[in-house]
Amino acid sequence: MNALIQDVRYAVRQLLRGPGFAITVIVTLALGIGANSAIFTIFDQVMLRTLPVQKPKELVRFEWTGAYSGSASSFGGDTGNYFSWPMYKDLRDRNTVFAGILAADRSSVGISWHDQAENKDAELVSGNYFDVLGLRPALGRLMTVSDDTAKDANPVAVLSYDYWKTRFTAAPDVAGKTLLINGHPFTILGVAPEGFHSAIGGYTPGVFLPVSMSDIAMPWTAPRKDLTNHQSIWLTLVARLKPGVTAQQAETTMEPLWYALRAQELTGYRTVSERFKDKFLNHTHLFVKDDSTGFNPERQDLRMPLLVLMGMVGVLAAMCAVNVATLLLLRAAGRVREISMRYALGAARSRIVRQLLVEGAVLGVCGAIAGVVLSPLIASVLVRIISNVGDQDQTPYTASVDLRVLGFTLLLSVAVTLAFSVAPALQFIRPRLAESLRQSSGTASKRSQLFRKIAVGFQIALTVLLLGGAGLFLRTLSNLRGQALGFQTAHVLSWQVDPTLAGYGDDRTAQVEMNVLDEVRAIPGVLQASGTTDPEIAGNQNGSNFTVQGHVAPEEEDMNFEIPCITPGYFATLRQPLLAGREFTAADVKGAPRVAVVNLTFAKRFYGTPQNALGRLIAEGGGSDVKLDTTIVGVVGDVKHQNLRDTPRGTVYRPYLQQTLPGGMELYALTDQSPETVESMIRERIHRLDSKLVVYQMRTLDEQMDISLANERALAFLAMSFSLLALLMTAVGLYGVLAYATAQRTREIGVRMALGAQRSAVVMLVLREMALTAVIGVAVALPAAFAISRLLTSQLYGVQPGDPLTLAACVGVSAVMVVLAAAIPARRAASVDPMLALRSE
Amino acid sequence: MSQNIIEIEQLTKVFYTDEIETHALSGVHLTIGRGEYVAMSGPSGCGKSTLLSIVGLLDTPTSGRYTLNGKEVANLNFSDRSRIRNQEIGFIFQSFNLIGDLTVAENVELPLTYRSGMPASERKKKVQEALERVNMAHRMRHYPAQLSGGQQQREAVARALAGSPSILLADEPTGNLDSKNGEAVMKLLQELHAEGSTICMVTHDPRFAAHAERQIHLFDGKVVAEGEMTQLLAEV
Ligand SMILES: Nc1ncnc2c1ncn2[C@@H]1O[C@H](COP(=O)(O)OP(=O)(O)OP(=O)(O)O)[C@@H](O)[C@H]1O
Ligand SMILES: [Mg+2]
């Protein structure tokens, strides 16, 4: 023990003697380890962490495949993740393998408390929700089956712990009090436990409301009659397996029930072709999947980027180890004589190896500590970018280091430290004493030179690899940003107001929204103002089935189209080209003839040309008894609607004012100067209209585009940062190796000059050595980059994996790095005095 | 072309270090004729190596004239000096200065590789001749570390010879050798001289200096006559 302390003390003294070296190593380690813990912090939260509920391993989730016809409302993922309420009830009541099944949906609602209204995320849950999850209240009581009985009969709410802490200042007497949800009084039952957010991963609702209250929580869904409609799917289901039952067993057991329920459901369909019937009944399956981490649709989108980033920081960690090993080896090489002397004086091998390992460990510990300090800084960048959607305080992810991250960092640091400290220690396990004491100092041992070359080559290869990935992501981002969207984002401001928060009934929402638009239009500098129920590039998909006159659609044909309801001037505001016919006008209201504008995709599919579409009849819904009541009056160009990777989808625009209870809108204003300049004016006008109206999510469409690109931006930004870090590390390693080699060869260089070598020849001598290493490194990296980039295909846009231009750029950047790193040693070599040759050693 | 390979007049060399001026050479006159074998001696620090380095174009004089093979070379730039050094001068160093990573043959070939336009076959031929001349041809593929000190210095002589220089410059070529190996190297130089080489050698050892046909004495940066030298040394 004493000896160890002595070793540590000696090691610290050794390191302090060359603080530049120690700082270089510690900074390298800190960046490498910090980047790893940072990415792991997020990776763990998104991908690995189980829900904070009882026995999360027992939780499973349902997913189905098969034909379907009706309306689907989703908050992400595909329709197979969603179920109708009647289907839920059947699955819940008729199975034998689950201890319970819960249903849930996300929505945002207006919550008024003490006359203060705000818009807040809510989770609509089945009454058994907390039961199935096995949660206990932090305060009051949680919802039970008896709180979710019949339509509109259960105005009760459970608060989330965080919401209770912030909005209700952790008031202990909150249970039994009343708050307003969308203007309707709800009784607070209690508070959910601390640390629990939602059964839906990555979601942080403020309140939990019974599904039976969905018409109040989501008034615009009322026409769907969700509580009885088999053909409206909107709920995600989570089940708890009975003890001892596996997900696989459950899936097998559920199969007959699933087929029975499907057959039963089909009887409710109006007209069915034989083909559809066959597909509906026979080509369907119900999957039972592990749900211990909670269903998180964003996880699907974040999975690949996070895996890529984990891979990248893993590479960075490996580079870090190799880099530090190289630096330590160089330092050790400088100490060959010292250490050989110690051996010669009779030091035991274990003693010397231990001393070297202790030095490595001291560096490793310092690096790890610095890395842990650095980690939240890097992680917070990622958190900020990926949780751009919604308000800052709602982010479900945290950048702070917890025990799991600490554990991960510890393991990683030990691995890295072992890797880099063993290399120099090995060099001295079998010291070639005679050689190193006799050898003239002019030449270094071939073996250690080879190791250094391989190490540098390895680093160059990995750098090219990282740069290649980062390059592809950067190009993807710029392709997504630079592409034509079908509308113009410049100079457009967007925001929402929620009239229900201000106490307006659902029937008055439309009028308030129109009044707001009138106010905004009157602001100088506002050229156009309009709104839509289906905001652009906000991830929204909102569809319905249509019947097209003269087109007989078999059941399996996809007749589902996007259905934005918009106000007059919408296309002018977004500068979306009108290809034929007209925009909606103020005359297109309830009572007037029903009209629609369709997009180019729709027009081409059914009518061939935009002009041809004018005057044609369509109708929402299907079946033979549908009334063709809507006339197409205009055709507009296609847009990227849901997100920037969207392919155009048939779209039927309808006048907002022609709908019954159309709900809230996303409002847009086109301004003649930068849209930020009218922000405060708009807020002021709306406040003047009704001081209770709250403006929220006010941002420019360009900002909205950034939000839509959050994952791509995070990926490109971090990948580029890590690659540049790798580049820097490699440059440091390369510089170290070359500087050392040049110093070692000073005499040789002097001799060569004495023999008539020109300066250029000497510079070439220094460069040639690394040039070959670099060429081999790049030669190894390129095919690897090509192969690995194929795995990234799903993340790319408008650029092929293995894109030659990107790879060439990476090689170019790496080459510049090699030359820059070699420049100083090369200059030093060129300035060696040939007189050196005359001096005897 | 002049009979003299080297003509030096009024040569001075001053080193400036940390405000101290060291007058290493102060007005040296020296001529070396073609085919001559000159030994240079003098007490430590008198400027022998400095003079040799200027003769060998490793360094430039502070003032004075230096004509090598009839060409004024005192104030050439680095690149021109490198070229002339490579073609006209053959160096033999006290500490051999062989390059450990290169084989015997590669070491000998080294100065030839710095000569532009010499084809590889010709280089090989010259290397072979030079190594045969010093009886080292059988060791061609060895590395310097595998040779004895005497063998290493013979290899170094071969390297100096390979480029057929106008003059061989040797700074204490026997300094790192025992007397037997030292004798062998001196014998080699004598043979080379007999074959027509011009040699200028710095040595401490009066026995070896006696091998040369002319002896130059340096004292305090000046060339002095032999008698004068004895007197000066006695005074010290
Ligand atoms: N680069 C230099 N900078 C400063 N002073 C120098 C330099 N090189 C040589 N000198 C000085 O010039 C003088 C002559 O040195 P030189 O090496 O020529 O002596 P030498 O005759 O070769 O001695 P020795 O027999 O010990 O080799 C000495 O005083 C030495 O200290
Ligand atoms: Mg000397």
DSSP track, A584-598: --TT--TTSPEEEEE
As to burial, measured by CB atoms within 10 angstroms (0-12 exposed, 13-18 middle, 19+ buried), residue A359 is buried
Question: Is any ligand 1 atom within 6 A of the Cβ of residue B53?
Answer: no
For A220-224, A602-606, A743-747, B145-149, which range has the lowest pLDDT when averaged over its residues? A220-224
Is the pLDDT assigned to residue A816 strictly greater than 70? yes
Q: What is the pLDDT of residue A276?
A: 82
3-state secondary structure chain B: CCCEEEEEEEEEEEEEECCEEEEEEEEEEEEEECCCEEEEECCCCCCHHHHHHHHCCCCCCCEEEEEECCEECCCCCHHHHHHHHHHHEEEECCCCCCCCCCCHHHHHHHHHHCCCCCCHHHHHHHHHHHHHHCCCHHHCCCCHHHCCHHHHHHHHHHHHHHCCCCEEEEECCCCCCCHHHHHHHHHHHHHHHHCCCCEEEECCCHHHHCCCCEEEEEECCEEECHHHHHHHHHHC
Is the per-residue pLDDT at A277 higher than 50? yes
Q: Tell which phi-psi region holds residue B144, choosing left (phi > 0), alpha (psi between -120 and 50) or beta.
A: alpha
DSSP string, A155-175: -EEEE-HHHHHHHTTT-TT-T
Mutate-to-test residue for ligand 1 from B12, B21, B25, B48, highest number of ligand atoms within 8 A of CB: B48
Q: How far apart are CA A408 and CA A402, in angstroms?
A: 10
Pick from A551, A820, A536, A559: nearest CA to A704: A536
Pairing of strands B37-41, B214-219: parallel
Mean pLDDT (whole number) for B176-193: 90
Q: What is the mean pLDDT of residues A612-636?
A: 90
Where b means 16+ CB within 10 Å and e means fewer, B155-176 reads bbbbbbbbbebbbbbbbbbbbb
Confidence label for A740 from pLDDT (cuts 50, 70 and 90): confident
Percentage of residues in chain A with pLDDT exceeding 70? Answer: 95
Beta strands per DSSP E along A621-673: 630-636, 652-655, 666-671
Q: Is residue B51 part of a domain?
A: yes
* pLDDT at residue number A772: 85
Q: What is the pLDDT of residue A433?
A: 55
User: How confident is the model over B93-101, as a mean pLDDT?
Assistant: 86
Alpha-carbon torsion (B123, B124, B128, B134), positive or negative: positive
Give the residue among A730, A799, A817 at the shortest CA–CA distance from A470.
A799
% of chain B at pLDDT higher than 70: 98
Does residue B50 line the site of ligand 1, with CB under 6 A? yes
Reduced DSSP (H G I as helix, E B as strand, rest coil) percent helix, strand, coil of chain A, to 5: 55, 15, 30
Return the pLDDT at A802.
Answer: 83
- The residues, any chain, with a CB within 8 Å of residue A277's CB and separated by 6 or more, are A266
Alpha helices in A168-296 (DSSP H): 214-217, 247-266, 274-282
Please check the confidence at residue B1 and state whether its pLDDT lies above 80: no
Chain B residue numbers touching A834 (CB-CB < 8 A)? 58
Residue A69: pLDDT band by 50, 70, 90 thresholds? confident
> Is residue A81 within 8 Å of A236, Cβ to Cβ?
yes
Contacts of A677 (CB under 8 A, 6+ apart): A525, A671
Weakest mean pLDDT among A114-128, A264-278, A397-411, A658-672: A264-278
Query: According to the model, what pLDDT value does residue A245 have?
Result: 93
Domain count, chain B: 1
Instruction: Tell me if A611 sits within 8 A of A521, measured CB to CB.
Output: no
Q: How far is it, in rounded angstroms, from Cα A802 to Cα A686?
A: 52
Structural tokens at position B38: 């000159």
Residue A442: pLDDT over 50: no
* Alpha carbons A569 and A436: distance in angstroms, whole number: 85
Q: Where in the sequence is the domain holding B211, given as residue range(s)?
A: 36-58+79-235
**Chain-centroid distance, C-alpha B64:** 21
- How far is the C-alpha of B225 from the C-alpha of B217, rounded, in Å? 7
Secondary structure (H, E, C), A749-789: HHHHHHCCCCHHHHHHHHHHHHHHHHHHHHHHHHHHHHHHH
Q: Which two tokens stand for residue A605?
A: 């599919």
* CATH code: domain of residue B197: 3.40.50.300
Q: Do A756 and B86 make contact, defined as CB atoms within 8 angstroms? A: yes
**What number of residues does chain A have?**
841
Name the most confidently modeled range: A378-382, A595-599, B182-186.
A595-599
- pLDDT tens string A476-492: 999 998 899 999 999 99
- Which of A484-498, A533-547, B188-202 has the lowest average pLDDT? A533-547
At A821, the amino acid letter reads A
Tell me the β-bridge partners of A156. Answer: A187
**pLDDT above 90 for A208:** yes
A788-801: pLDDT as tens digits: 888 888 888 988 88
- In the predicted model, is pLDDT for residue A447 greater than 70? no
Please tell me the predicted confidence (pLDDT) of residue A441: 41
pLDDT(A401) > 70? yes
Instruction: Report the nearest atom of ligand 1 relative to the CA of B53.
Output: 18
Q: Mean pLDDT highest for which of A374-383, A492-501, B22-31?
A: B22-31
Q: Please tell me the least confidently modeled range out of A56-65, A307-316, A544-553.
A: A544-553
Q: What is the pLDDT of residue A438?
A: 45
- Answer positive or negative: Cα dihedral of A52, A55, A56, A59: negative
Cβ of A754 and B86 within 8 Å?
A: no
Would the CB of B126 count as within 6 Å of ligand 1?
Answer: no
Residue A471 has a pLDDT of 93
The pLDDT, as a whole number, for residue A78 is 82
pLDDT at A59 over 60: yes
State residue A431's pLDDT score: 59
Of B52, B59, B95, the CB nearest to A840: B95
Could you tell me the end-to-end alpha-carbon distance of chain B, in angstroms, rounded to an integer?
43
Q: Is residue B16 part of a domain?
A: no
C-alpha–C-alpha distance, residues A511 and B14, integer Å: 99
Query: What is the distance between the terminal CA atoms of chain A, rounded to a whole angstrom?
Result: 43
Q: Which of A193-207, A294-308, B24-38, B75-89 has the lowest mean pLDDT?
A: A294-308
Identify the residue with better confidence: A744 or A640.
Answer: A640
The answer to whether B53 contacts A840, with C-beta atoms less than 8 Å apart, is no
Return phi, psi of residue A168, to 5°: -105, 15
Determine the average pLDDT of the residues in B49-65: 92
Per residue in A158-183, pLDDT (tens digit) is 999 999 999 999 999 999 999 999 88
pLDDT at residue A737, rounded to an integer? 85
What mean pLDDT comes out for the span A149-164? 94
Could you give the CA distance from residue B184 to residue B177 in angstroms, rounded to a whole number?
10
DSSP assignment, residue A745?
A: T
Using 50, 70 and 90 to split pLDDT, how confident is the model at A435? Answer: low
Residue B48: band (very low, low, confident or very high) from pLDDT cuts 50, 70, 90: very high
Angle (CA) A92-A97-A101 rounded to 5° is: 30
The residue of chain A nearest to residue B56, with distances taken between CA atoms, is A754
CB of B44 sitting under 6 A from ligand 1: yes
Does residue B184 lie within any of the structural domains?
yes
- The pLDDT of A756-784, averaged and rounded, is 87
In this predicted structure, the answer to whether residue A191 has a pLDDT above a threshold of 70 is yes
State the average pLDDT over residues A17-41.
Answer: 90
Q: How does residue A434 score in pLDDT terms, banded at 50, 70 and 90?
A: low
Q: Please indicate whether residue A3 or residue A225 has the higher confidence score (pLDDT).
A: A225
pLDDT computed for residue B236 by the predictor: 65
Decide: B15 in ligand 1 pocket, CB within 6 A: yes
Greatest mean pLDDT among A13-22, A303-312, A832-841: A303-312
Q: Cα separation of B104 and B130, whole Å?
A: 11
Average pLDDT, chain B: 90
Residues of B in contact with A748 (CB under 8 A): 99-100
Average pLDDT of chain A to the nearest whole number: 88
DSSP-derived secondary structure for A696-729? EEEEEHHHHHHHHTHHHHHHHHHHHHHHHHHHHH
In ligand 1, the atom with minimum distance to the C-alpha of B48 is 21
Whether B97 sits inside 8 A of A747 (CB atoms) is yes
CB A466 within 8 A of CB A312: yes
Torsion angle, alpha carbons of A581, A567, A646, A306, to 10: 170
Q: Which residues of chain A have a CB within 8 Å of the CB of B145?
A: 439
- pLDDT tops 70 at residue B107: yes
pLDDT value, residue A94: 94
Minimum-distance CB partner of A838 among B49, B79, B83? B49
- Average pLDDT on A245-272 reads 90
Please give the Cα distance from A648 to A651 (Å, whole number): 9
Q: How confident is the model at residue A392 (pLDDT cuts 50, 70, 90)?
A: very low
Residues A534, A562: Cα–Cα separation, whole Å: 9
For the CA of B51, the closest atom of ligand 1 is: 18
Nearest in space to A562 (alpha carbons), one of A614, A598, A538: A598
Please indicate whether residue A428 or residue A234 has the higher confidence score (pLDDT).
A234
For position A567, what pLDDT does the model report?
Answer: 96
pLDDT exceeds cutoff 80 at A838: no
Question: Taking 80 as the threshold, does the pLDDT of residue A814 lie above it?
Answer: yes
